[in-house]
Amino acid sequence: MDNVSLLWQQYKQGSNKAKNKLIETYCNLVHIIVGRICIGNKYGIFDKEDLYNYGIIGLIEAIERFNPQQGVKFETFASMRIKGQIIDNIRKSNWLPKDVQRSIQELEKAYEELAVAGKPLTDENLMSMMGIDKEKLRKILNYANQSNLLYLDNFVQNSEEDRFIDILPDEGTNPLENLVNQDILVRLTDAIKKLSVKEQMVLNLYYYEELTLKEIGLILNLSEARISQIHSKAINRLRLMLKKEAG
């Protein structure tokens, strides 16, 4: 039996010392996830130390809730809980200045109006619709992208308290809840299929392969700023499709 397995055994037997050792063992997961969230944080929106503290809370929750019998690696389970805790606290903190929030709302409104008019969601059409220049649009898209990086992890059907990561089956989830969660996954998957190939690729590389925007840019031979824009536009298109479907 290796040291980590022994720690888990001791913790399940009630050892707080073993629990603290497990936290120390897996705290690097928190560093990795916080570092990824902070990628592209050009405007100092997130305080890294605060995010780390939120992540540690998520790690502790993961250790307390983990059930090895479910056949899921602890690192996978913990990563979802850590990220979820960080996202929850970011959302509660009103981290975007009010003028930036207004700009993002105007951007989303422009997306909707262009979609209704059947016009392509190009930078030129957005600038014309919003009455702004390219530099202003770039800044708004950067802010919007920081917000949108959280969107798939916060995709909800009816309640802002549900997180996308929480639609994954968990111990104690009843069959009816699982059916609802599967329906959400189907709807989201169908919406993603309607995106362009490049948009799907960016979302896949970011959310599933867990690459940074910079790494995706290197793969697709595009700048990090361009990948950020593609991501932001893809998420806004998903918002529109899911909002329209919900009526």
pLDDT at 136 (0 to 100): 87
- Rounded to whole angstroms, the Cα distance separating 207 from 225 reads 18
Contacts of residue 87, Cβ cutoff 8 Å, sequence gap at least 6: 150, 153, 154, 163
176, burial (CB in 10 Å: exposed 0-12, middle 13-18, buried 19+): exposed
| Residue 101 burial (CB count, 10 A) | 14
Tell me how far CA of residue 70 lies from CA of 55, 66, 173, in angstroms: 23, 9, 13
Per-domain residue ranges for the chain? Answer: 3-92, 98-246
Contacts of residue 163, Cβ cutoff 8 Å, sequence gap at least 6: 84, 87, 88, 153, 154, 156
pLDDT at 76 (0 to 100): 82
- Rounded to whole angstroms, the Cα distance separating 215 from 232 reads 17
Structural tokens at position 202: 């960016």
- Rounded to whole angstroms, the Cα distance separating 129 from 107 reads 9
pLDDT at 155 (0 to 100): 45
**Residue pLDDT tens, the chain, 247 long:** 578 888 998 998 999 999 999 999 999 999 988 877 765 554 456 678 888 999 999 999 999 988 877 777 888 888 888 988 887 787 676 666 778 778 878 887 887 787 777 777 678 888 998 999 988 887 787 777 666 554 454 443 333 333 343 433 444 444 444 444 456 667 777 888 888 888 888 887 887 677 778 888 888 888 888 888 888 888 888 877 877 766 5
pLDDT at 93 (0 to 100): 67
Q: Is 98-246 a CATH 3.40.50.720 domain? A: no
Report whether 84 contacts 58 (CB < 8 A): yes
The gap from C-alpha 210 to its chain's centroid, in whole angstroms, comes to 11
Cβ contacts of 133-140, under 8 Å, gap ≥ 24: 138/225, 138/229, 140/100, 140/103, 140/104, 140/106, 140/107
pLDDT at 62 (0 to 100): 92
pTM of the model: 0.53
User: 2 by DSSP, 3-state: which?
Assistant: coil
pLDDT at 147 (0 to 100): 61
Into which CATH architecture does domain 3-92 fall?
Answer: Orthogonal Bundle (1.10)
